[in-house]
Chains A and B, each alone.
Chain A
C-alpha cells in the first residue's frame, strides 16, 4: 500500500485488562506482568493516516487480549539526515504512496 519504511522495536509492556489475563506463550499473565511486545513506528503524511490505521487493524487483530493500541502522534518535522531535506520531501520515499498516486493519475 505504499508504506516503504517502518521502525520496529522489541519492548516489554502490559495494559489494564479489566481483571482478565493475557495469554503469552501458553501461560497466563495478570495485569501487572510485563510481556514481550513489538512496537512499530510509522511516519506518514496526514492523508495516509486512516488507510494505514485500517491496514494495521485488519492484519493484526486477533480478537484476543493483547492485540495492542495505536497512538496517533503529530510529528512537527521530518528531516532526512543524508541530504538535509525537511518536511514533505523528507517524508517521501521512492516507490511509496506518493509515487503510487502519481502513477495512477498519469494512467488516467
Chain B
C-alpha cells in the first residue's frame, strides 16, 4: 500500500499535470488496454484490492488506473520535454472525424506538457474531390500526383486554403493555438523540380529548408501546421510530397522524432502475419528488409524518407498506425509504441 502512495504523490507537485486533469483529457477506452506489461505501480495498485480494512474501494476504480498511467508517462515527458516532434498527418486519420479529433487532442496535450509538436499534412482525398468538381480527372504516376498547371492551382488552394485552415481551427477549438503555414511562408521550403518532371509536372523535391520561422512560433507555445506546397527560386509553385516535407523539416529542426501517421499497423516482418509487427529497427536492418522485399511498395517511399531524415540527425523516425485512437500518445508516451520505430 505504501508503494502505491509514493508513486502517486509526485503527481501533485508537477504543475503541467494539473492541466491534464481537466475534463477534456479523454481516457479513451482503447488507451487503457494498450498497456500490455503490468508495470510496478499498477501491480502495487492492484495489491490494494487485497487489503481489507481500508478506505479505498475494493475494486480498482478507473480513476486509480488513470492516474497510475499518467504517472508512468512522466519519464517519457521528462525525456521529450522541450524537444521538437514532427508529425506527418494523412490517410485515414484525416478522414474520420473521431480519429481526427483524437490526433488534434493528442497534439494539444503534447504541447501542454512541454513538447514541441509540428504538424505537416497532406490532403490527397480533398484535392481529388475538388479536381473532380472542376471536371478534371486526378492522375497518378508511381504513387505521385501528376500536377499540371491547373492541378497545381487546385492543390495550392485546397491544401493551404482549406485543409490547413480547418486543421488550425480544430487545434484552436481544442484549446491549443495553431499557426498555419505552407512552404512558401518565410521560405520555409524551397522546391526544385523532381527528375521526373516531364511525367509529373509541378511535383517538387525539397531543395532547401529554412526553419527560422518555426522557432519563434514554437518558442511562444504555438503549434505550426504546415502544408507541403512550396515555391522554387522564381516563385513557381510546386507540390511537395508531405512525407518528404515532414522528413526534411525534421532534419532542419534537429527534431527528436519524426512520426508518420499511416493506414497500416507499421512494418511487418511477415506481410501475411499481422502479429509480426517490427517494433524497433535500425537503418541497416530496415535497408536489409527493403532489399529482401519484405517492405510493401507503398511503404518504400515512407521508409526512404525516414532513413533520409535519420541520416541527417533526427533521433528516431516512426511509422505508426493512424487508425488507432491516440496513436500519437501511444507512440510518444509509452514503451510499446503504435507502430515501427526506426532508430539512427
Contacts and interface: CB of A to CB of B under 8 A. Distances in A.
Contact of B209 (A27, A58, A63, A64): A27
Interface in A4-35: 23-28
A26 B287 contact: no
B208 A27 contact: yes
B176 to A, nearest CB: 25
B310 A62 contact: yes
Given A63-B283, A63-B287, A26 B311 contact: no
Contacts of A80: none
Interface residues of A, number: 13
B1 to A, nearest CB: 45
A62 B308 CA distance: 8
Listed residue (A25, A61, A64) with the most chain B CB atoms within 10 angstroms of its CB: A25
Interface residues of B, number: 23
Interface in B302-319: 307-308, 310-313
Given A25-B252, A27-B209, A58 B308 contact: no
Given A23-B251, A23-B312, A25-B252, A61 B283 contact: yes
Listed residue (A27, A28, A61) with the most chain B CB atoms within 10 angstroms of its CB: A27
B308 A25 contact: no
Given A62-B310, A63-B307, A66-B311, A26 B206 contact: yes
Contact of A28 (B207, B287, B311, B344): B207
Interface string A56-77: 0010011110110000000000
Given A25-B312, A28-B207, A58 B252 contact: no
A59 B75 CA distance: 27
Contacts of A66: 311
B307 A24 contact: no
B201 interface: no
Contacts of A25: 209, 251-252, 254, 312-313
10 contacts: A25-B209, A25-B252, A25-B313, A26-B211, A27-B209, A27-B248, A28-B206, A61-B283, A62-B311, A63-B283
Interface of A: 23-28, 58, 61-64, 66-67
- In the complex, the 3 A-B pairs of residues with the closest C-beta atoms, listed nearest first: A26-B252, A26-B209, A62-B311
